[in-house]
Amino acid sequence: MRTDVVTFGLHILDILGRPVTRIPPGQEVELIEEITMTVAGTAAATAVDLARLGVRTASVGAIGRDTLGAFLRERMTAEGVDCTGLSEVDTAQTSATILPIRPDGGRPPLHVIGASAELTEDRIPWPLLAEARVLHFGGSGLLPALDGEPSARILRRAKEIGLTVLMDFIPTKDPEFPGRLAACLPYVDYLLPNLEDACFVAGTDDRASAIDWYHRHGVGATVLTMGADGVSVTERGGTERLLPAYAVDVVDTTGCGDAFSAGFIAALLDGAGIEQAAELGLAAGSLVATGLGSDAGITDRAGLDRFTAMTPRKQQGE
């Protein structure tokens, strides 16, 4: 069966608890309401959401030869994701994050890069990519063996074989990261970061200036998620359009960006234009925010369409 989308990059095990209002001192116990464990990461979580939306998806990355990696592979395979592109490494544990979720949905992460650092160019199954229509590259910034020129080479080759390329990133404080990301942008059709990350890398607090920075470096379009302020969509050479957020009670913002990417890609595959694709992405990200973890809320495309039809949108300035 042909694969429509390959997600490439971070594969993380998340352990989440909520609501966390404080870290207790010493050995003191703090009771919370809920703890869960989920598939996460800008490649893995997006792959799971795509599969639930009915998209034939394969995921490529590196995991440890450990129980965490076995959990990720088992869960992703059960969701219908092709995991033949997942490499196991003996030199590092599976990437993992502990997330104490605050009452407002905020999530300060405690992260181990782990096996993600072992993801290299020679682990890419190019025959698998050659069968696909879309490559989603997720996690630049936390992929030390790939960031910069290796990523640019991968994306250039992906474009040469006819793939539509999407990219998301997780910026670091490394002063070299903006330049490394910029090397990739001429080969990216749609860039899907959140606004805070986009501005940080561009070195500005102004959204318009950030958008201009990415477009000057060659990206085809910026699609910036802005939390309660919705989404900004701007094609290179075009005018920015703002889409309002859905009015939902936020439980946890973990995985909202990955769900947005999945909804956006699913709509593109259906032939949608960029604004219509962003609308479905916005719905998917908003639905995930209503539960705990990257896999919350999304069950199938019909359920997402019902959410879209029944959930009110925020008004400007709310």
Taking only the tens place, the pLDDT of each residue in 239-277 is: 999 999 999 998 888 889 999 999 999 999 999 999 999
**234 domain residue, yes or no:** yes
**26 domain residue, yes or no:** no
**27 domain residue, yes or no:** no
**283 domain residue, yes or no:** yes
**109 domain residue, yes or no:** no
Q: Is the pLDDT of residue 318 over 70?
A: no
Q: Among the listed ranges 31-35, 101-105, 160-164, which one has the minimum average pLDDT value?
A: 101-105
| Cα distances (angstroms) measured from residue 136 to each of 60, 165, 266 | 10, 6, 12
Bond from prior residue into 19 cis (ω within 30 degrees of 0): yes
The number of distinct structural domains making up the chain is 1
Cβ neighbour number for residue 244 with a 10 Å cutoff: 16
**99 domain residue, yes or no:** no
**229 domain residue, yes or no:** yes
Work out the pLDDT band at 223, boundaries 50, 70, 90: very high
Residue 100 has which token pair?
């104490």
Inter-residue contact 143 to 116 (CB < 8 Å): yes
Residue 233 has which token pair?
């969509």
Mean pLDDT, the chain, integer: 94
Q: Is the pLDDT of residue 317 over 60?
A: no
| pTM for the full predicted model | 0.94
| Cα distances (angstroms) measured from residue 24 to each of 31, 33, 80, 103, 159 | 10, 16, 40, 16, 50
Packing angle between helix 274-288 and helix 301-310, nearest 10 degrees?
A: 90
What CATH number is attached to the domain comprising 264? 3.40.1190.20
Question: By residue range, what is the domain housing residue 168?
Answer: 5-10+43-62+122-310
